[in-house]
Amino acid sequence: MRFATALAAGALTTISAGAAARPTPSAYVQRLSHLAQLQTLNADLLSHDSATGVLQALCDRRDDGAPRIRARRVTVADDAAATSKARAELGAAPDAAIVHRRVELMCGAAVLSRADNWYLPGRLTPDMNAALTTTETPFGVVVRPLGFQRRTLSARLLYQPLPVGWDARPAATNLTPARPPDDVLQHRAVLQTPDGVRFSLVVETYTNRVLAP
């Protein structure tokens, strides 16, 4: 009996040692998960007119209480160059009023994205302009009655979870756990009415909080 017990204990020790010696795929799986999540979010943003709607769906999946996405205002200094570039992108006259609004789009206490939005108040209704200056309602929700369309100008991944050549490596590699940067994805887009009138240029920077823990 003692011999059998000792033999079993030895076998378990050998198995444990072998398991410890083999590279764990956990970091690899984590990085694959991050990549899949980023690609899914990017595809959702490219295929929907409202980025707020995409984030709301993400928020709903994360929190059973389904908090509404809110836009926390952030005070920013005037940037004449950026405003001039936005004016040209929107085809606005030199004397047309243009507003720069920066917000953090939040699901509960988590900041999912930061949005810099240059919009033309003269192409919105008075009620819309009032809501944008006095409430935390996201821009996409406020201007929804316009039936707007989103035209993406650029989409850029700011985080590459897997190194170059990862697809040529075996799944169980010695990759370390990923440490996503603060910002993982950026979109630049124009919002316009169905008849093609542009009224907003937005630059959205998505944070690592869009990745599931």
Do residues 205 and 55 touch, judged by C-beta distance below 8 A? no
- Strand 198-207 relative to strand 110-119, pairing: antiparallel
Alpha carbons 98 and 91: distance in angstroms, whole number: 11
d(Cα 188, Cα 201) in Å, to the nearest integer? 8
Tokens of 83: 């405003």
The domain ranges of the chain are 25-160+179-210
Cα(115)–Cα(133) distance, integer angstroms: 15
Q: Which CATH superfamily is domain 25-160+179-210 in?
A: Chorismate lyase-like (3.40.1410.10)
Q: What is the pTM of this model?
A: 0.83
Per DSSP, 209 falls in state G
Q: List the Cα angle 201/76/106 in 5-degree steps.
A: 70
pLDDT tens for the chain, 213 residues long, are 443 434 334 433 333 344 444 444 588 889 989 999 999 999 999 999 999 999 999 999 887 676 889 999 999 888 899 999 999 999 999 999 999 999 999 999 999 999 999 999 999 999 999 999 999 999 999 999 999 999 999 999 999 998 777 666 665 556 788 899 999 999 999 999 999 999 999 999 999 999 987
Characterise 165 by phi-psi region: left (phi > 0), alpha (psi -120 to 50), beta (else).
left
